[in-house]
A and B are shown apart, each in its own frame.
Chain A
Amino acid sequence: MTELFFDDIVYTYPGVNAPALNGLSLRIGSGKRIALIGRNGGGKSTLILVANGIIRPDRGTLRIDGAPVDYKKKGIYRLRERVGVVFQNPEDQLFSANVYQDISSGPLNLGLSIGEARERVEEVAERCGLTALLDRPTHALSGGEKTRAALAGILAMRPEFLFADEVTNALDPWIRIQVLNILDSWAAENHTVVLSTHDWDLAANWADEIVWLEKGKIYRQGKPEEIFPGGTQPERYRRDG
């Protein structure tokens, strides 16, 4: 049983007074679809950066299978092999001249041979509907295609935990379904998918579990029907403070 455990995490960005994460504790088990919700500035993106070891918490421990993450080079690589992140703006994640090369970079960084990397690229391109676009220069992709390419670049590394930060935001309804299907297919293979979103309907319908962050802490956590007992209209949940 694999588990990612955020154990009482505190983190404050340099030069900022209020902590972005303020004593957050969260266990993420395997094989689940988790929606991360909460107001802007609630700490969702910061949590995702902690999960990937990009941010090292000021206090508290990130544990994977019970063992605290080792922030030396080797330990960080081991963490990132298992925890993948797709960031909010796909534009910032594609660095190669074409899609094929971009997707291949993760597997090659993991030390796979060119032949193995090729197999991964082709398999993941199929999964993400990118097979016809592999040859495209990355700058000539549409927004939805960029999102899928960024997702493919991470999936090619086969992360056990996949964090996706607001990736469904600027997509049209059809592409959105396509992206959700990709996430679903990954979760169905006994991986964990964590999707941060402002769309409560999406969270309620898609997720097995919802984690609601406010002010760097967990505000509520549970099954969709526990979090939104009376439906997902925001008026029903006037927050104090």
Chain B
Amino acid sequence: MRWIDRFAYNNRIRRLDPAVKAGFSLIMILVCLGFDRPYVSAAALLLILILSVSLAGLPLRSFLKILAGEAAFLILSVVPIAVSIVRPSAAEPVPVFPLKLLITRDSALNALNLLTRTLACISAMNFLSMTTPVVDLIDLAGRPRVPEIMIDLMTLIYRFIFTLFDCLERMTAAKESRLGFRSLRTAFRSAGEIAANLFLETYRRSRKLQVSLESRCWDGAFRVIPQTYDPIRSLWERAPSRNQPVQNRETL
């Protein structure tokens, strides 16, 4: 997740209005689902790939690596669609193998179609998450009338998911250093203790956060300055971003 976050902050269309990027992803997904043809999906996949590399400047290798990871899962679930298991009929001579694997033209096409379509949709989502920081997505969600409470929750979840991971890592390391996972039984005990601690720690933090929010005159609603973005025409005008100065290109 940190990895994706890093791309989101360091790509060439970082400052582009998230509505444009989300709109593009959405259109790609709708096209793939609407036409439902392998070659349409393949074309969409290719387009997304080209834009990710040429427009957003994402490294091709990383894009493919992430996609490959997702594809591995997909292929596993597509195989049963392509292949069906049949029991040999009684008319046949004594079978060498009691079951037969069968791939028909239809089932193969079906599987291929499903695979390309899903891959294209996933890569559209990858494009969005690798070019758009979560702050911008939350900001985008706040534009239509999404209830404020949802926006606040999204902000907090994003903010603290990393804190929780860190906390979990620290506690796991502490347990490991004391051989807490030596046998299955101690492992279960350790996991239980870690979970309980994590819960308490979360509670403690939420109390502290509330105190510090109150000290800043918080009255129940998070007020922050909305983000500013480059409009879509910046794509062809190629002017450097003027809104906020382009900040930290170094890795996060």
Residues in A lying within 8 Å of B, measured CB to CB: 49, 52, 54, 77, 80-81, 84-85, 87, 89, 91-98, 100-102, 104-106, 108-110, 114, 117-118, 121, 132-140, 153-154, 157
Report how many A-B pairs have Cβ atoms within 8 Å.
111
- Whether, in the assembled complex, B18 has its beta carbon less than 8 Å from a beta carbon of chain A, the answer is no
Q: Are A87 and B211 in contact (CB under 8 A)?
A: yes
Known contacts A54-B215, A91-B163; A133 and B224 CB within 8 A of each other: no
Q: Are A106 and B222 in contact (CB under 8 A)?
A: no
Least Cβ–Cβ distance between A136 and chain B, in angstroms = 6
Q: Are A109 and B159 in contact (CB under 8 A)?
A: no
Q: Are A157 and B212 in contact (CB under 8 A)?
A: no
Contacts of B208 in A (CB 8 A): 87, 89, 92
Which of B159, B222, B225 gathers most chain A CB within 10 Å? Answer: B225
Q: Which residue of A lies closest to B161 (CB)?
A: A139
For B, the interface residue count at a CB cutoff of 8 angstroms equals 34
Q: Are B223 and A97 in contact (CB under 8 A)?
A: no
Q: Are A80 and B223 in contact (CB under 8 A)?
A: no
Q: Are B248 and A132 in contact (CB under 8 A)?
A: yes
Q: Which residue of A lies closest to B222 (CB)?
A: A105
Contacts of A106 in B (CB 8 A): 216-217
Q: Are A136 and B215 in contact (CB under 8 A)?
A: no
Q: Are A136 and B211 in contact (CB under 8 A)?
A: no
Taking CB atoms and an 8 Å cut-off, the chain B residues in 200-219 that contact chain A are 205, 208-209, 211-219
Q: Are B159 and A133 in contact (CB under 8 A)?
A: no
- Whether, in the assembled complex, B86 has its beta carbon less than 8 Å from a beta carbon of chain A, the answer is no
- Whether, in the assembled complex, B230 has its beta carbon less than 8 Å from a beta carbon of chain A, the answer is no
Q: Which residue of B lies closest to A55 (CB)?
A: B211
